[in-house]
Amino acid sequence: GAAMVKIAMDLLKEGAMDEKETLLRMEPNKLDELLHPIFDPKALKKVHVIAQGLPASPGAATGKLVFFADEADKYKYTILARIETSPEDLEGMNIAKGILTARGGMTSHAAVVARGMGKCCVSGAGALKIDYKNRILRVDDKVYHEGDWISLNGSTGNIIEGKVATIEPELSGEFGEIMELTNKYTKMQVRTNADSPKDAIAARKFGAQGIGLTRTEHMFFEVDRIKAMREMILADTVNGRKRALKQLLPMQREDFEGIFEAMQGLPVTVRLLDPPLHEFVPHQLSLQKELAEEMHISVGAVKSKIADLAEFNPMLGHRGCRLGNTYPEITEMQARAIIEAALNLKAKGIEAKPEIMVPLIGTSDEFILQENIIRQTAEKVFEERNDSIEYLVGTMIEIPRAALMADKIAERADFFSFGTNDLTQMAFGYSRDDAGKFLPIYFEKGILKADPFEVLDQEGVGQLVEMGTERGRNTKPDLKVGICGEHGGEPSSVEFCYKTGMNYVSCSPFRVPIARLACAQAAIKDNA
């Protein structure tokens, strides 16, 4: 990556290539090597690769094995090994040097979160047998214990025995010059997917022009707020839920203030609560007992409620706008937190540009119900504050039916954002967490040329994206359209988005430079 940038800039300065040719000669994905640690090439000559997983998030990491997220700080350098991760593991994932999972694909929880953090991750390593009880990881007849050194190459998916020396990335001035050149030729904007002010600041440094996706659910897993969230879920009445949500409101408002301030003057798309509620409740008996004591109810009552929340297919269950439409008080709290945060910043002279996004709609009525709650809540806040701000209400297009009904949905929606992770899952009928079991065989037999969760399937899923964009703009010609799936940072998918006429792509912070180069290349090719 560093060599590619240096050679290209040298040839440009010598006059051997013009600016456009310089940009076109570069491979966007190679910029990854400039943004993440890599293994020392000398050390790599002597390594023993014990297994192969999916290259879920680039970079190199070495550390001692731990199996529980709350023990990620047990050693100075750790690798967190899990069968699969859940939002409860966020804090430990942040502490660990690298993340390793036995299950999950390129858009699994571990992969998406690690990319957002700029952290090395290898997912879907099916050869690993993780035994939590005995704190061991087994690969064939070899056993690795907690505290054993292990190394991960997130760019290749290699899992390596022992400690391997790494080299930290260094951004040269020439990297900055390349990024300046992209600005000269690009037409489509690049935003970022960011759930915290830290992520937002990192992405802004890389040149992000706003946030295309803030996932509000990640905010609820912090220690001070998970208790209130669980109280809300376990409440049997609307008033009980409202009491718990009242505790969450100031925390959510503070979260949004931090993100809006980091992105001041730039648009921020906030997705309302999306995952099913069972993801927020404790599944370990010790934590269930703790929760029962805090809420002054029996352990049996906690277990019963958790059992009620269980679903056979949670990805298609009670989540997204279905939550907000059955429990409108959740949408009310989130809309109030967003609008109040923007007004608080306005009072300090900071401009916030919130775009509120309703997830997982399949019908226009689902959107209208949520939009009404959001707009009514905003009007209430404006009256209370005797002040107002500009804001948009739009939706994610991630269910095939929504793409088919885009003309109707656009009658009310201010913007569309294609959630291509779920759209791919539903269009193919592949579970994104389980497809790793058969995808390698499909590549081998030529059934698929690439992982559709990594590279957008332009032939099939692409038709839904084109159709949704075209139908939406037939109704509303100035409809803002973007993409916030992981495809927003993959070069060939970015080019497709440009050709479709999107306003922006959005990707994890460390993929922003890749997307910026891909956007410039797409515009140059189009004008050639």
Q: Which residues are catalytic?
A: 109, 484
Q: How far apart are CA 221 and CA 89, in angstroms?
A: 9
Q: How far apart are CA 107 and CA 368, in angstroms?
A: 29
Distance from C-alpha of 418 to C-alpha of 493, rounded to nearest angstrom: 12
Residue 438 and residue 417 in contact, taking contact as beta carbons nearer than 8 Å? no
Instruction: Please report which residue ranges of 348-458 form alpha helices under DSSP H.
Output: 364-385, 400-404, 406-409, 420-428, 439-444
d(CA 399, CA 257): 31
| Residue 296, phi-psi category: left (phi > 0), alpha (psi -120 to 50), beta (remainder) | left
**Identity of the residue numbered 524:** I
Strands 49-52 and 189-193: unpaired
| Angle, helices 512-527/173-185, rounded to nearest 10 degrees | 40
H/E stretch holding 114: helix 109-117
DSSP string, 320-362: THHHHHHSHHHHHHHHHHHHHHHHHHHHTT---EEEEEE-S--
Q: Which of 449, 451, 455, 409 is nearest to 430 (CA)?
A: 451
Torsion sign, CA atoms 229, 231, 234, 240: negative
Output DSSP code: residue 211. E
Paired strand residues for 143 = 138
